[in-house]
Chain A
Amino acid sequence: MARNLEVSIRIEMNETDAPLSANSEKAEAISSGHFRLVLDGAKSLDIDALENGLLNTSYPAIRQALATYLADEVKKMPNQNASYS
């Protein structure tokens, strides 16, 4: 019987001394499934900029998570099938 799948996500917004992201529309990948975007501190209460920054960071993460998961699942298939034959 197939096991259930847990999806979890945690988004953090912290102050940082890191320099601003070169492209505010594109999040940089730090590691697998981990993306970040450094926004201008002067816009800490700019709802538009914050929402845009969050979406620009989360969508690549969602896309990558889905792609990685599917690739891994497909990779498992030949092994599973091989064991049946």
Chain B
Amino acid sequence: MLAIPNSQVVCHRARYRVDGEVGRFEFETYDVLDTDGRIAFHGFNTLPIRTGKQWYQTAGFKKNAILHGALDRSYRKTAVAFNIQRRQVKGGTPLSTLRDAAESQGVAVIAAIEDETQRTFAEHRFTNQGQHIVPIEPSSPDSPPKKLPTFNVVKVEEAWQETSREMNHRGFTQEQIAKAKVQANELSVHEYESPEHTTNIFVDEVCIKKQKPHRKPTSASVVEDSDDELKRVHTTVARIEHQGKGFTLVGANLLTILRFILAFLLRNGLSQHRLRFYVDGQRTLQDGILTFFSWHRSVSLILDWFHIVKKFKELLSMAMKGRVYRNEQVKAVLRLLWYGLVDDAIAHLRSVNPDLIKDPSQIEALIGYLERNRSWIPNYAMRRRLKLCNSSNPVERTNNLVASQRQKKNGMSWSTYGSLALSALACVVLNKRTKEWLTECQFSLTFDTAA
């Protein structure tokens, strides 16, 4: 019995198409026409909206073909394997459809993180750009801001005794040991943080080879190719760690990722913690972080030890005549920097025998690098003794999981959206948000204990 008198049920002209874990199939839907022949009810409206010849992709499809398929291997291999598995080699999902589906899902993940970020900012009275609407801590001369807890003083002293003994044993002068102690205890940026009240944040950029706009070279584009080779797609990756829990975020640029990080900190009640950013020497990255978190009472950077080693090895290779002299200098300078003795390291570089130097400009570059980063070079030896973090290894590992292992392969090149989309989807899996994403299309910014 139809609700509309004298109405007529007619078959809809287009069939509803579903691409699922069971395979591809289509079915008829029905509309209701009123007495004037107008459609009074669209059968399509009872089903998820799709347009034109679009296939509705089920949660099973997204899970198997995208999150556990295209994220791990090429679209071509995934499409073939998925269609074989569904017993639908002919008439199965084409490669281009799978790629488009993955890209649109990835873009949707970024949009969901953005929505969650904006919601969090609104709840905590921040602007969409991550700026305070009202200051968190109104300054008052009677109540100076409370100092954040630091590492247990007794343990720091014990670590220092061991470190000084080690320095003595390694032939450091008493003056250098005294300087290392000052470095270790007095500069605020070198305070040893209490792990319970500190959130470690690792930020880095992944560069992926960019897809050329035209596959076949034409006479006009041949000249441009040399420039194109230098072009890369940049994806910024962040890893947030606190008390053994971790979370991974990706964004198209630094500002986006810093906004996501702030939203995550606010959502998890970590914004009042000490924030330690572990970075490489990239100036734009350092400046961006410090500017964005300029309102925060305890944000500091730590220059990644691994990056320092790499930098000195590279530049001293170009600076010195031969690898024997290069290795001697690398060893000598890193020995000083391991204890945070930046001035001594600069003095050592200045005192290198000019006869052994091939390119003095590289030595000057290293001195400039140390001057620029001196505020972010702690006493690494002390930090290691206290089992505090010294390097940005977690984000390097995350970079590999999120982007490199899938996207940096021989002959592969990516569009900006394609690269970011796959990285965003990898975040869903890494943060164990698969079920939440597939059922609710949401991406909550909270720690998962197992992530």
Contact = CB atoms under 8 A, between A and B. Distances in A.
A40 B69 CA distance: 29
Interface stretch (B17-25, B339-347, B353-361): B17-25
Contact of A52 (B46, B48, B56, B60): B60
**Most B Cβ at <10 Å: residue of A45, A48, A54, A55:** A48
Q: State the main secondary structure of chain A at its contact with B.
A: helix
B206 interface: no
Interface string A54-82: 11000000000000000000000000000
A47 interface: yes
Contacts of B59: 48, 51-52
Contacts of A51: 20-22, 58-60
Given A52-B59, A52-B60, A47 B46 contact: no
A47 B439 CA distance: 12
Contacts of B438: 48
**Most A Cβ at <10 Å: residue of B46, B47, B48, B58:** B58
A47 to B, nearest CB: 6
Interface string A17-55: 000000000000000000000000000010110011011
A28 to B, nearest CB: 21
A47 B22 CA distance: 11
Contacts of B46: 45
15 contacts: A45-B46, A47-B47, A47-B48, A48-B58, A48-B59, A48-B60, A48-B438, A48-B439, A51-B20, A51-B21, A51-B22, A51-B58, A51-B60, A52-B21, A55-B22
Contacts of A55: 21-22, 60
Contacts of B439: 48
Interface residues of A, number: 7
Contacts of A45: 46-47
**Most A Cβ at <10 Å: residue of B22, B438, B439:** B22
Interface in B42-72: 46-48, 56, 58-60
Contacts of B48: 47
Contacts of B60: 48, 51-52, 55
A47 B16 CA distance: 11
Contacts of B20: 47, 51
User: How many B residues touch the partner, as a band?
Assistant: 10 to 19
B58 A47 contact: yes
Contacts, number: 26
**Most B Cβ at <10 Å: residue of A52, A54, A55:** A52
Interface string B401-440: 0000000000000000000000000000000000000110
Interface string B346-389: 00000000000000000000000000000000000000000000
Contacts of A52: 21, 59-60
A47 B60 CA distance: 10
A67 to B, nearest CB: 21
Nearest to A46: B48
Contacts of B58: 47-48, 51
B46 to A, nearest CB: 5
A73 to B, nearest CB: 24
Contacts of A47: 18, 20, 47-48, 56, 58
Given A47-B58, A52-B21, A52-B59, 15 more contacts: A45-B47, A47-B48, A47-B56, A48-B59, A48-B60, A48-B438, A51-B20, A51-B21, A51-B58, A51-B59, A52-B60, A54-B22, A55-B21, A55-B22, A55-B60
6 A-B pairs with least C-beta separation: A48-B59, A51-B20, A48-B58, A51-B58, A45-B46, A51-B60
A13 to B, nearest CB: 13
Contacts of B22: 51, 54-55
B68 to A, nearest CB: 15
A51 B20 CA distance: 8
A59 B387 CA distance: 50
A45 B439 CA distance: 15
A13 B376 CA distance: 66
Nearest to A52: B60
Interface string B71-111: 00000000000000000000000000000000000000000
Interface string B1-26: 00000000000000000101110000
B157 to A, nearest CB: 55
A39 to B, nearest CB: 14
B278 to A, nearest CB: 41
